[in-house]
């Protein structure tokens, strides 16, 4: 929101200079992002009248002008502007004047002495338009200082407003806060009802009653649309970043900036029948003022006549009913639309407007009729005409429920106690109705404050109006205590540290991802975003794999041949419960070890990744079973189990995606549920035996399809207390074994804490383990 300081001071004029005013606004939550002069510094420029303009005798494109500069005799000035003509009033730089980047002197131009310079807007630093002179109104006072006449000794303030302060998207809204902050009186805008001089009306029907709560309209006949916009209005619009278009459009823009209420003017002759406020119907189209033909859907609220939509409600008017040079009669509208109906619609169309920016944040529904009266009066004063009666249709205005404030909450939240009388006075200065109910304040926010809903909102108002800088910091007085942390829960930092120690580097990627990634790597349907910020960020991620592969490509494009990445983040599952679990994902690519002379180069594979996971998350018992996953190689993918619970996936990237994403080598990836990884077995005391170990080796023959891990788990599960370790140390396939069979050799260590085991006792334990393997997996002892 950019506005002129002079304009603001017509509403409220506190005893503060520009810097102090900007500081006060910033400290009140209305951040002043920029303060800039309205024009570059220049001196010696006055308003002048061109009395005559004759061709230069020695040059084809120059004119010799006689100019009245208001003091002394007329001046002869040589001018090269193509639009110079007798009767014009323009800015004139007198000899000695200092302009941006130059100084004006009396000089001889092709034999004619020129005593000054007639100026364009570019030469004065007001715009980039150098096509001709800066034309001034015919009543501009000749000889007056141009800076004062054109209100250039002014500052432009740009506010960076938060989305909850839509009420400050107008000069009046900002003035209200300045009044509350400084106590300076507020001068209100004259919005007396315009007496109707004709009886014509356009009937209005609100069909979407929950979307449009109030609609006001009136006819204004016999308007001179060619009338010039007053200079004061044009200057205020230009300082706020608005281009002057025509008197009618300028007036609607001016009221938008002044009061915060968007308005729109239709050419009455182009409307067909009554006005209907409704949602669009399938197949309807509208050619907007920006020449964009919009295919409408039922999510768009429209203003329609008998022939169809004539405007996108709260966003933009239609080209077919726009005011042009042939317009005689107007239909002027002012309405209140629900913010949720307007919010995001313009973004879906690919453009934004000042009206939609305000409507989607909430406009003052108490200003709807007043803004229409203000615009009508300005149109009649500038363009003439006759106004009809106002047609006002209301359904049910939004309620403004009272908010109860416990005064003791103020010092509890702010650390200071201004007192109940000061708090009440602050609310009254903010135009809020205050009543006392025992020891409570009952505060009713005005129609323009949609952000006052809770008790904390009121406390925030007290803080910002009373002054954040008046809240004295107080030292915290407390006895710190160390928070208890469960021994069975691993901190997240340890998960990160464990992978960093395995040579992985953490990345952080967006939760908004491409739908293409989800189709390639995901296992569930992705959650679609209603209003994505970009086409490649249209869904919420259900897996971390897409972001990891994208970061791998980023590194490969920068000649990083060995990449180890991991990410700990939230995924969003499109299930009935709409769960948002935390996942730990990782990726390894390139050589298994850094380039060196001591180890032969080879690419990282599944078993390297498996070893990293087992080492990183020790002492958890990880197991792996072959599985299918759409993102992983069909024969090189495993389901990861932690203590028997399915926890995630690990494996090599599918060749299809390796080719699609242009990866020279296949990376290996994993994705695991964080909550299961955080569970740690609580350490328990175990007596250390001082007695000798017994070792027994057995080789079991099983079907090729039996996983080694399954057989190992069976042996460990059947082991009695005296078995201290069961480990696989050899796998054999080939001569001496039937086709489809394999031999798995296990090392079994036995040790008791109370006595030395005998061979007979050890053999009995081994026999028991062999029997368990035979019963569960059909294993047999290799002969």
Helices (H), 62-182: 146-149, 171-182
**Domain edge (last residue) among 394, 415, 446:** 394
For CA atoms 638, 644, 648, 650, the dihedral sign is negative
> How far apart, in whole angstroms, are the C-alpha atoms of residue 124 and residue 420?
54
Confidence of residue 478 (pLDDT cuts 50, 70, 90): confident
Residue 192: inside a domain, yes or no?
A: no
* Average confidence (pLDDT) over 207-226: 94
Half-sphere exposure of 102 (CA within 13 A, CB side): 13
Residue 689: inside a domain, yes or no?
A: no
Residue 109: inside a domain, yes or no?
A: yes
Phi-psi sector, 362: left (phi>0), alpha (psi -120 to 50), beta: left
- Please state which of the ranges 318-327, 331-340, 430-439, 474-483 shows the lowest mean pLDDT: 474-483
pLDDT, residue 486, reads 82
pLDDT tens for 606-641 read 999 999 999 999 888 888 888 999 999 998 999 999
Confidence of residue 578 (pLDDT cuts 50, 70, 90): low
Clarify whether residues 454 and 519 are in a common domain.
Answer: no
Clarify whether residues 621 and 698 are in a common domain.
Answer: no
Confidence of residue 510 (pLDDT cuts 50, 70, 90): very high
* Average confidence (pLDDT) over 739-761: 92
* Average confidence (pLDDT) over 237-248: 91
Clarify whether residues 551 and 638 are in a common domain.
Answer: yes
Clarify whether residues 336 and 225 are in a common domain.
Answer: yes
pLDDT tens for 654-713 read 999 999 999 999 999 999 999 999 988 877 888 888 888 999 999 999 999 888 888 998
Residue 684: inside a domain, yes or no?
A: no
> How far apart, in whole angstroms, are the C-alpha atoms of residue 643 and residue 717?
12
**Domain edge (last residue) among 394, 427, 456:** 394
Phi-psi sector, 319: left (phi>0), alpha (psi -120 to 50), beta: alpha
| Residue 156 scores a pLDDT above 60 | yes
Residue 776 CB neighbour total at 10 angstroms: 16
Mean pLDDT of the chain: 91
Clarify whether residues 508 and 584 are in a common domain.
Answer: yes
pTM value is 0.68
Residue 475: inside a domain, yes or no?
A: no
* Average confidence (pLDDT) over 209-220: 94
**Domain edge (last residue) among 452, 468, 484:** 468
Structure tokens at 37: 């002069």
What's the 3-state SS for 335-397? Answer: EEECHHHHCCHHHHHCCCCHHHHHHCCCCCCCCHHHHHHHHHHHHHHHHCCEECCCEEEECCC
* Average confidence (pLDDT) over 518-545: 86
> How far apart, in whole angstroms, are the C-alpha atoms of residue 604 and residue 553?
17
Confidence of residue 34 (pLDDT cuts 50, 70, 90): very high
Higher-confidence residue: 43 or 127?
Answer: 43
Clarify whether residues 165 and 249 are in a common domain.
Answer: no
> How far apart, in whole angstroms, are the C-alpha atoms of residue 234 and residue 223?
19
> Which CATH number characterizes residue 647's domain?
3.30.930.10
Classify residue 483 by burial, with Cβ atoms within 10 Å: 0-12, 13-18, 19+. exposed
* Average confidence (pLDDT) over 42-55: 93
pLDDT, residue 651, reads 95
Structural domain count, the chain: 6
Element (H, E) at 28: none
Pairing state between β 301-305 and 308-312: antiparallel
DSSP classification of residue 750 = E
* Average confidence (pLDDT) over 524-546: 87
The vertex-211 CA angle with 339 and 252, nearest 5°, equals 65
Confidence of residue 577 (pLDDT cuts 50, 70, 90): low
Which residue range forms the structural domain that includes residue 700?
Answer: 694-781
Confidence of residue 22 (pLDDT cuts 50, 70, 90): very high
Clarify whether residues 640 and 760 are in a common domain.
Answer: no
| Residue 101 scores a pLDDT above 90 | no
| Residue 575 scores a pLDDT above 80 | no
Residue 474: inside a domain, yes or no?
A: no
């Amino acid at each position: 929101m950019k506005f002129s300081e002079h304009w603001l001071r017509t509403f409220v004029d506190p005893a503060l200079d520009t810097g102090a005013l900007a500081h006060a606004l910033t400290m009140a939550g209305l951040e002043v992002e920029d303060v800039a002069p309205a024009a570059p510094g220049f001196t010696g420029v006055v308003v002048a009248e061109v009395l005559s303009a004759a061709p230069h005798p020695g040059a084809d494109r120059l004119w010799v002008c006689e100019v009245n500069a208001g003091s002394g005799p007329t001046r002869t000035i040589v001018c090269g502007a193509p639009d110079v003509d007798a009767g014009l009033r323009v800015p004139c730089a007198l000899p000695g004047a200092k302009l941006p980047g130059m100084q004006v002197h009396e000089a001889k131009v092709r034999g004619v002495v020129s005593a000054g310079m007639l100026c364009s807007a570019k030469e004065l630093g007001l715009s980039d338009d150098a096509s001709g002179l800066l034309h001034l109104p015919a009543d501009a006072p000749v000889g007056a200082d141009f800076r004062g006449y054109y209100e250039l000794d002014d500052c432009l303030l740009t506010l960076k407003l938060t989305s909850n302060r839509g009420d400050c998207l107008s000069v009046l809204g900002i003035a209200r806060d300045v009044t509350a902050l400084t106590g300076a009186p507020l001068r209100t805008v004259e919005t007396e009802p315009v007496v109707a001089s004709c009886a014509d009306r356009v009937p209005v029907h609100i069909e979407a009653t929950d979307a449009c709560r109030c609609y006001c309209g009136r006819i204004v006949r016999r308007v001179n649309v060619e009338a010039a916009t007053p200079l004061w209005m044009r200057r205020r619009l230009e300082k706020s970043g608005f281009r002057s278009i025509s008197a009618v459009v300028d007036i609607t823009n001016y009221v938008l900036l002044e009061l915060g209420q968007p308005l729109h003017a239709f050419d009455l002759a182009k409307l067909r029948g009554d006005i209907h406020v409704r949602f669009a119907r399938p197949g309807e189209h509208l050619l907007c003022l920006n020449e964009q033909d919009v295919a409408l859907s039922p999510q768009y609220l429209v203003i329609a006549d008998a022939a169809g939509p004539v405007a996108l409600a709260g966003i933009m008017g239609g080209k077919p009913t726009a005011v042009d040079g042939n317009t005689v009669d107007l239909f002027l509208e002012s309405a209140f639309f629900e913010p949720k109906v307007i919010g995001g619609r313009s973004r879906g169309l690919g453009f934004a407007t000042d009206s939609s920016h305000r409507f989607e944040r909430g406009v003052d529904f108490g200003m709807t009729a007043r803004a229409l009266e203000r615009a009508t009066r300005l149109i009649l004063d500038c363009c003439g005409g006759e106004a009809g009666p106002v047609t006002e249709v209301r359904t049910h205005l939004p309620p403004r429920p009272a908010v109860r404030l416990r005064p003791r909450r103020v010092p509890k939240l702010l650390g200071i106690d201004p007192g109940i009388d000061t708090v009440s006075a602050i609310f009254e200065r903010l135009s809020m109705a205050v009543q006392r109910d025992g020891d409570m304040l009952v505060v009713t926010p005005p129609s323009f404050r949609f952000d006052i809903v809770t008790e904390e909102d009121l406390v925030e108002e007290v803080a910002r109006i009373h002054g954040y800088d008046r809240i004295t910091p107080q030292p915290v007085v407390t006895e710190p205590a160390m928070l208890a942390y469960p021994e069975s829960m691993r901190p997240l930092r340890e998960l990160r540290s464990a992978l960093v120690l395995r040579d992985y580097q953490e990345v952080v990627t967006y939760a908004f991802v491409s739908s293409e990634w989800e189709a390639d790597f995901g296992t569930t349907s992705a959650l679609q975003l209603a209003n994505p910020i970009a086409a490649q960020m249209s869904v919420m991620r259900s897996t971390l794999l897409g972001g990891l592969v994208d970061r791998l490509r980023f590194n490969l494009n920068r000649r990083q041949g060995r990449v180890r990445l991991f990410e700990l983040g939230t995924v969003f599952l499109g299930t009935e419960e709409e769960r948002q679990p935390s996942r730990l994902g990782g990726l390894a690519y390139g050589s298994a070890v850094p380039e060196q002379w001591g180890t032969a180069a080879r690419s990282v594979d599944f078993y390297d990744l498996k070893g990293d996971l087992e080492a990183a998350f020790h002492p958890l018992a990880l197991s792996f079973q072959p599985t299918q996953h759409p993102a992983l190689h069909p024969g090189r993918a495993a389901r990861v189990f932690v203590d028997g619970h399915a926890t995630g996936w690990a494996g090599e990237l599918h060749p299809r995606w390796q080719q699609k994403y242009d990866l020279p080598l296949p990376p290996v990836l994993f994705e695991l549920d964080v909550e299961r990884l955080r569970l740690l077995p609580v350490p328990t005391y175990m007596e250390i035996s001082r007695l000798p170990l017994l070792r027994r080796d057995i080789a079991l023959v099983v079907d090729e399809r039996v996983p080694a891990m399954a057989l190992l788990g069976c042996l460990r599960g059947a082991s009695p207390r005296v078995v201290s370790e069961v480990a696989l140390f050899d796998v054999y396939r080939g001569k001496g074994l039937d086709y489809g069979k394999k031999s798995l050799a296990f090392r079994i260590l036995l040790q008791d804490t109370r006595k030395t085991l005998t061979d007979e006792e050890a053999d009995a334990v081994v026999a028991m383990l062999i029997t368990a393997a035979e019963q569960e997996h059909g294993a047999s002892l290799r002969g």
